[in-house]
């Protein structure tokens, strides 16, 4: 079952469509925010109706043109190129409720009449979109507690506001998933696999017969998916992510259909590579704190240098460092205490473990 490299709609600026397995189409939809060019949605063709996996944001077909009155211009054009349309969609499965994968969900299900399937733990992200100011305030307080201040604090806290204009409405799931659910599409049976880490409600779709995995942002071909700590969410997101990587490695996907970029083979090897990289960084963080107590900005400088960062880049870096620290705190390796100025200081946890 070769990975197709033929483009189903040549010349359609900003939207690339290719059949990557029999009856499975990759829809590369334009993003263009924070340096991310596209998101990969997938169409699973069926006899009576189709399934769409993720849906992108309000965008025109050229990535900068008119997204249409409801924002669906790009995804509508991509579906048409794959021989489908919004009216054929039975369901939209969202791998996780980050806006680049979820932004058009409300409009897609409104226009199609199909169901919206999401994991029940996407409620945490949905609450951010319902009250973005509260979400920004919560992030601001967390980052201030860890030593960020001034312009850097403001820029790093407010990234959510950059994305909201490309989400016309907040989609509401009609079916909440737990993992283990199965459905048919295109002669295949797909199983929902809960893979928390990148997001508490992240899911992959797995077809065991052909060993296909729609991986969302759980496995990516080139970059290591960010695992970010967010106050009030998973207290140990990196631990959750490493467990999810083990789960997917054991499935041994032959072909991975990622949420960004093109499909790739040998998902087990990629899962192991990503896990090894995360564990190396865990060791680096622990060794830096063992050498002397440090704040998060000090760890950021030690790990990434002093090169200028955008607010979005700084958020991803700091939030992932917080995920490493949370992993160690959960396992009583490192601990945090407050300095007199109120900033958290991380040090070795030398407290005795209760018997």
Q: Report the alpha-carbon distance of residue 311 to residue 66 in Å, rounded.
A: 27
Q: What is the pLDDT of residue 189?
A: 97
Residue 229 placed within a domain: yes
CATH number at residue 129: 3.60.15.10
Q: With the CA atoms of 300, 306, 308 and 314 taken in that order, what torsion angle do they form, in degrees rounded to the nearest 10?
A: 0
Read off the pLDDT of residues 170-222 as tens digits, 9 standing for 90 and up: 999 999 999 999 999 989 999 999 999 999 999 999 999 999 999 999 999 99
Q: How far apart are CA 165 and CA 31, in angstroms?
A: 12
Cα angle vertex 94, ends 89, 100, to 5°?
Answer: 110
- Position 107 in a domain: yes
pTM of the prediction?
0.94
Task: Tell whether the model's pLDDT for residue 5 goes beyond 50.
Answer: no
In a domain, 137, yes or no: yes
323 in a domain, yes or no?
no
What is the total count of domains within the chain?
Answer: 1
Burial zone of 172 (CB within 10 Å; 0-12 exposed, 13-18 middle, 19+ buried): exposed
Q: Determine the Cα angle at 104 with ends 102 and 109, to 5°.
A: 105
Q: Looking at the DSSP assignment, which residues form a beta bridge with residue 26?
A: 18, 42
Q: Where are the beta strands (DSSP E) in 69-187?
A: 89-93, 115-119, 175-177, 182-185
Range of the domain at 79: 16-278
98 domain residue, yes or no = yes
Residues 124-166: tens digit of each pLDDT: 999 999 999 999 999 999 999 999 999 999 999 998 898 899 9
pLDDT digits (tens, 9 = 90+) for 68-78: 899 999 999 99
**Residue 2: pLDDT over 70:** no
pLDDT at 15 exceeding the cut of 70: yes
- Residues forming a β-bridge with 91: 51, 115
**Share of residues in the chain with pLDDT > 90 (%):** 85
Which of 13-22, 29-38, 41-50, 316-325 is predicted with the least confidence, judged by mean pLDDT?
29-38
43 pairs with which residues across the strands? 25, 52
Choose the weakest-confidence range: 29-38, 210-219, 231-240, 325-334: 29-38
Does 43 map to a domain? yes
- Residue 240: inside a domain, yes or no? yes
In this structure, of 23-27, 143-147, 185-189, 304-308, the range with the lowest mean pLDDT score is: 304-308
Asked if residue 331 belongs to a domain, the reply is no
Cα dihedral sign, 3-67-65-126: negative
């Amino acid at each position: 079952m070769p990975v197709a490299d033929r483009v189903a709609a040549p010349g359609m600026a900003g939207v690339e469509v290719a059949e990557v397995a029999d009856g499975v189409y990759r829809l590369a939809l334009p993003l263009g925010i924070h340096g991310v060019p596209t998101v990969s949605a997938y169409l699973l063709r069926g006899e009576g109706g189709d399934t769409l996996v993720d849906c992108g944001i309000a965008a025109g077909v050229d990535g900068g043109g008119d997204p249409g009155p409801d924002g669906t211009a790009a995804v509508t054009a991509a579906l048409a190129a794959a021989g489908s349309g919004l009216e054929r969609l039975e369901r939209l499965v969202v791998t996780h409720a980050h806006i680049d994968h979820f932004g058009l969900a409300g409009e897609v299900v409104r226009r199609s009449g199909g169901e919206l399937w999401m994991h029940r733990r996407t409620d945490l992200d949905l609450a951010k979109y319902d009250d973005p100011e509260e979400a920004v305030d919560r992030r601001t307080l967390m980052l201030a507690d860890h030593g960020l201040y001034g312009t850097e604090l403001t820029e790093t806290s407010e990234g959510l506001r950059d994305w909201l204009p490309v989400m016309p409405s907040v989609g509401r799931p009609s079916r909440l998933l737990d993992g283990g659910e199965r459905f048919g599409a295109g002669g295949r049976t797909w199983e929902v696999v809960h893979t928390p880490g990148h997001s508490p409600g992240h899911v992959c779709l797995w077809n065991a017969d052909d060993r296909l995995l729609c991986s969302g942002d759980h496995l990516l071909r080139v970059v290591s998916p960010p695992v970010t700590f967010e106050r009030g969410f998973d207290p140990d997101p990196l631990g959750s992510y490493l467990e999810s990587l083990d789960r997917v490695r054991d499935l041994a996907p032959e072909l991975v259909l990622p949420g960004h970029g093109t499909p790739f083979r040998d998902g087990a090897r990629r899962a192991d590579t990503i896990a090894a990289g995360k564990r190396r960084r865990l060791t680096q963080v622990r060794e830096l704190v063992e050498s002397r107590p440090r704040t998060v900005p000090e760890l950021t400088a030690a790990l990434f240098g002093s090169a200028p960062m955008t607010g979005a880049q700084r958020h991803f870096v700091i939030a992932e460092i917080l995920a490493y620290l949370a992993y160690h705190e959960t396992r009583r390796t490192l601990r945090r205490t407050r300095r007199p100025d109120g900033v958290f200081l991380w040090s070795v946890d030398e407290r005795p473990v209760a018997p």
